[in-house]
Chains A and B, each alone.
Chain A
C-alpha cells in the first residue's frame, strides 16, 4: 500500500486521479456505479454562464484505438450547476474542479468570478476546445493569447487556476510558459486533437460538426511527449492526460513530470476504470518500491 495522496496547489487529493472534464458529467451517473469519493478529484463538464446547447448529432464515434467527439460544450450553465449539482458534489469528499470557458475575455473573467463564493476547490480554464467556433480556441493557440486570457482571469479567480492547454498548436511549451508567466497555478494537458472520421461507403463525414476531438489511447504517445517537454520548461504543477487506461499509463505521465493525471475516455470503455486505475497505480508503486506516488514525478530515465 503506497501513499497516493498529494497536495495540488494547496488542495488535498486522496490520489492523483481526476475525472477528465466532459467524460464524467457532474459525477452523479458514475456515483450510481461506485462511490466517487474514492477519486482524487472530478473536473466537471465544461461550464459557461447561461449554458449552451451544443452541436447537433452525431457527436461521437469510435476511431482506431480512440474516439472523436464534437459535443460542443453543451452544459446547463454555471448558475444551474451551482444551484443544482454543486451542493450534492460537495458532500462527496472529493476535490471539485470547475472546468469553464467563455467566448470573450470578459465572459471568461465573469465565469471565474461566479465560482468565487462557492465551495469549488479549483478552477480549470478551457482555452482549447476545438469543437466550437467561439469557445475560446482563439485564446489557446498563440502564447500571447494564452498570456492575455490567463492574466485577466487570474485576477478574477479566488480558487487556484489550472489552465488546460490545447495540443493543436505549434509549440505547446511556449503556451505552458505563457500560462505560468501570467500567474496560472497549474497546467493540464492535453485536450483533444482535432480530427475527422469518414463513412467511406456514403462518402460522408460521420460527425455533424465535420471535425471532432480525438481522445483515448491513440493520443497517449503525443500527450506523454507534450507533458515531458512542458515539465522541462515550467515549475508549476502539471496535470497529465490523454489516453490513460491503466495504472501503468498513469505512472508513465507521472514519470514524465505530471503530479496528477486525468482519466477521460477510459470511463466509457470501463465504467469502473478510475477505482481500478487507482488500485493498479498502488500495485505499481509497491512493485517499484515507491512509498509515496509523488516520488515518481519526473524520474524518467531518458537518453
Chain B
C-alpha cells in the first residue's frame, strides 16, 4: 500500500457512460491483486474524500493499472476529465480481492460498471472451462475484453446485444449444464442478491464484491462497514475497504 502520483497514459471512452483510464503506477501495480481497488484523489481542493475505483487490469511488468470509471457525480467527473500526461494521486492497492482458491471451473458474473473488477478476476483466475456472464443496458454499454481463455456470454436489458434477459438466466443455464467450483460476481445489488440466492440454494462457493461509501479506504475509520453474518448465526459489521470489498456470499446480508 502506497500513495503515489500516477501518470495518466491514456483516457478514452470505453463504452457509453464509461471512461477507460490507464495509469502508470508501478509501485501499486507490482502488488495489486484481482478484486482490489485504489482510492483516487479528486483534482482540486474542494473534495476531501477520495473515490474508490476497482482495478480492471493490472500489469506488473509494464507498471500499469487499467480502470473503467463511470463519470457519475462531481468527483468521478473531475477524475475522468484528466488528460494524458496529467497525474492523479492514488492510494493502493487496497482491500481483500477475489481468491481463486485453486478452483478449476469458475463462473464470473458482472453487471454494468461491476464488469470491470470481474475482468481483473478473469485475467487472474479463468481457465478454459470457466465462463463469464455479463449484463449490460444496451449494446452501446458493452465493454470487458480480457486476455482470459474462457467463453463470455453477454445479455442486455433491451436485447440489442445477446438475449434480452438478466444475467442470472444464462448463468442458471450454464450451472444446469455444468456445475462450477466457484462463482465470482460484482454488479448492482439486485444482481448480487440473485447470484447469492442461486449460489446459496445450490451450495456453490461464491464471492461477491461489494460497494460502500468510504472515508479512509484503509480500515481506520469504520465508515464503510456492512453487516455480515457469522457462522454461529450472529452478525457483525465488517469493513468493505479492508475485510472486503470481496466477501464470501454466505457472509453477506443485503
Asked if residues B50 and A57 are in contact (CB atoms below 8 Å), the reply is no
B101 at interface (Cβ–Cβ under 8 A)?
Answer: no
Q: Could you give, for residues 61-105 of chain B, a 1 whenever the CB lies within 8 Å of some chain A CB and a 0 otherwise?
A: 000000000000001000000000000010100000000000000
Asked if residues A69 and B223 are in contact (CB atoms below 8 Å), the reply is yes
B41 at interface (Cβ–Cβ under 8 A)?
Answer: yes
B124 at interface (Cβ–Cβ under 8 A)?
Answer: no
B3 at interface (Cβ–Cβ under 8 A)?
Answer: yes
Asked if residues A54 and B48 are in contact (CB atoms below 8 Å), the reply is no
Chain B: CB-nearest residue to A45:
B222
Determine the distance from Cα of A266 to Cα of B212 in the docked complex, in whole angstroms. Answer: 20
A30 at interface (Cβ–Cβ under 8 A)?
Answer: yes
Give the B interface residue count (CB, 8 A): 31
| Residues from 265 to 291 in A contacting B, C-beta threshold 8 Å | 265-272
Surface stretch bound by A, among B18-26, B173-181, B213-221: B213-221
Surface stretch bound by B, among A19-27, A166-174, A230-238: A19-27
Q: How far is the CB of B219 from chain A (nearest CB, A)?
A: 5
Surface stretch bound by A, among B109-117, B141-149, B224-232, B244-252: B224-232
Asked if residues A66 and B48 are in contact (CB atoms below 8 Å), the reply is yes
Asked if residues B215 and A67 are in contact (CB atoms below 8 Å), the reply is yes
Residues in chain B near residue A71, CB distance under 8 A:
221-223, 225
Asked if residues A268 and B237 are in contact (CB atoms below 8 Å), the reply is no
Determine the distance from Cα of A268 to Cα of B226 in the docked complex, in whole angstroms. Answer: 19
Chain A: CB-nearest residue to B219:
A29
Known: A25-B220, A216-B48, A268-B221. A56 touches B227 (CB 8 A): yes
Residues in chain A near residue B220, CB distance under 8 A:
23-25, 28-30, 267
Residues in chain A near residue B2, CB distance under 8 A:
33
Asked if residues A60 and B215 are in contact (CB atoms below 8 Å), the reply is yes
Q: How far is the CB of B55 from chain A (nearest CB, A)?
A: 19
Asked if residues A60 and B214 are in contact (CB atoms below 8 Å), the reply is yes
Determine the distance from Cα of A74 to Cα of B238 in the docked complex, in whole angstroms. Answer: 11
Asked if residues A67 and B49 are in contact (CB atoms below 8 Å), the reply is yes
Give the A interface residue count (CB, 8 A): 36
Residues in chain B near residue A24, CB distance under 8 A:
220
Chain A: CB-nearest residue to B241:
A29
Asked if residues A23 and B215 are in contact (CB atoms below 8 Å), the reply is yes
Chain A: CB-nearest residue to B240:
A57
Determine the distance from Cα of A71 to Cα of B213 in the docked complex, in whole angstroms. Answer: 12
Choice from B48, B50, B216, B226 contacting A29 with Cβ under 8 Å: B216
Chain B: CB-nearest residue to A72:
B222
B203 at interface (Cβ–Cβ under 8 A)?
Answer: no
B197 at interface (Cβ–Cβ under 8 A)?
Answer: no
Residues in chain B near residue A265, CB distance under 8 A:
48
Chain B: CB-nearest residue to A269:
B48
Chain A: CB-nearest residue to B242:
A29
Chain A: CB-nearest residue to B210:
A57
**14 residue pairs A–B, Cβ–Cβ below 8 Å:** A32-B1, A32-B218, A33-B218, A54-B237, A57-B226, A59-B224, A69-B215, A71-B221, A71-B222, A74-B225, A216-B48, A266-B48, A268-B216, A270-B41
Known: A22-B221, A33-B218, A268-B216. 16 other contacts (CB 8 A): A29-B219, A54-B222, A54-B237, A58-B212, A60-B49, A60-B221, A62-B47, A67-B48, A71-B221, A74-B222, A266-B48, A267-B216, A268-B49, A268-B217, A269-B48, A269-B50
Closest 7 CB pairs of A and B: A25-B220, A60-B223, A62-B49, A29-B220, A29-B218, A216-B48, A269-B48
Residues of chain A having any CB pair with chain B under 8 Å = 22-25, 28-30, 32-33, 45, 53-54, 56-62, 64-67, 69, 71, 74, 216-217, 265-272
